[in-house]
Amino acid sequence: MADEAYYIGPSIASESYLNGNKLIAIAKRSGANALHPGYGFLSENADFADQVIQAGIHFIGPNPDNIRTIGDKMAAKAFIKQNISSIPLIPGYNGEDQSIDRLEREAKRMEFPILLKASAGGGGKGMRTVYETSKLKEEIEAAQGESLRAFGSDKLLIEKYFESVRHVEIQIFGDKYGHVYHINERDCSIQRRYQKVVEETPSPALDESLRKAMTNAAIELGRKLAYVGAGTVEFIVNEKSKKFYFLELNTRLQVEHPITEAISGLDLVELQFLVAQGANLKELGILDNIQFQGHAIEVRLCAEDPDHDFAPRTGIIHKWTPATSLQSLKGVRFDTGIEDGSEISIFYDSMIAKIIVHAHTRQEAIRRMTMVLAHTVIVGITTNQKFLLAIMNNPRFQSGLFDTNFITLEKDSLFPTSTYPDDVKNSILAAFLFDWILRRNRQIYLRNIQPGWRNVQWRYQRLNFAIGYDNKREEVQVQYDYLGDPEHRKHHLFKAQVLGKQAIRQEEDASELPISITLFETELQKEVTSPKGIIGGKGLLRCTIDGSQHYFYIAEDIKDVNEKIIFVHDFIRGYQVELAKVDRHKSKITISEDDRTMPYTSSMPCRILKIIAPTGTIVKKNSPLLSIESMKTEVKILSRHNGVVTMRVKENQLVDARVLLCSIDEK
Task: Please give the positions annotated as active site.
Answer: 252
Q: For strands 34-35 and 58-59, give the pairing.
A: parallel
Q: How far apart are CA 609 and CA 655, in angstroms?
A: 11
Q: How far apart are CA 129 and CA 435, in angstroms?
A: 47
Sign of CA dihedral 396, 397, 402, 406: positive
Which residues, in sequence order, are bridge partners of residue 265?
A: none
The DSSP element (H or E) to which 228 belongs, if any, is none
Is the separation of the CB atoms in 542 and 549 below 8 Å?
A: yes
Which residue type does 527 have?
E
Burial class (CB in 10 A: 0-12, 13-18, 19+), 215: buried
3-state secondary structure 47-116: HHHHHHHHCCCEECCCCHHHHHHHHCHHHHHHHHHHHCCCCCECCEECCCCCCHHHHHHHHHCCCCCEEE
Quickly list H helices, 479-616. 501-505, 587-591
Contacts of 580 (CB under 8 A, 6+ apart): 465, 466, 467, 468, 473, 563, 564, 565, 566
What's phi and psi for 573, nearest 5 deg?
-75, -35
What's phi and psi for 505, nearest 5 deg?
-65, -25
Q: How far apart are CA 50 and CA 43, in angstroms?
A: 12
Contacts of 427 (CB under 8 A, 6+ apart): 552, 568, 570, 573, 577, 579
Burial profile 368-395: b = 16 or more Cβ within 10 angstroms, e = fewer: bbbbbbbbbbbbbbbbbbbbbbbbbebe
What are the angstrom distances between the C-alpha of 120 and each of 12, 17, 65, 340, 610?
A: 19, 16, 14, 36, 23
Indicate the DSSP class of residue 390.
H
Q: How far apart are CA 396 and CA 402, in angstroms?
A: 6
Compute how many other C-beta atoms are within 10 angstroms of the C-beta atom of residue 556: 26
Coil, helix or strand for 523? coil
Burial profile 149-159: b = 16 or more Cβ within 10 angstroms, e = fewer: bbbbbbbbbbb
Is the separation of the CB atoms in 232 and 218 below 8 Å?
A: no
Q: How far apart are CA 271 and CA 289, in angstroms?
A: 16
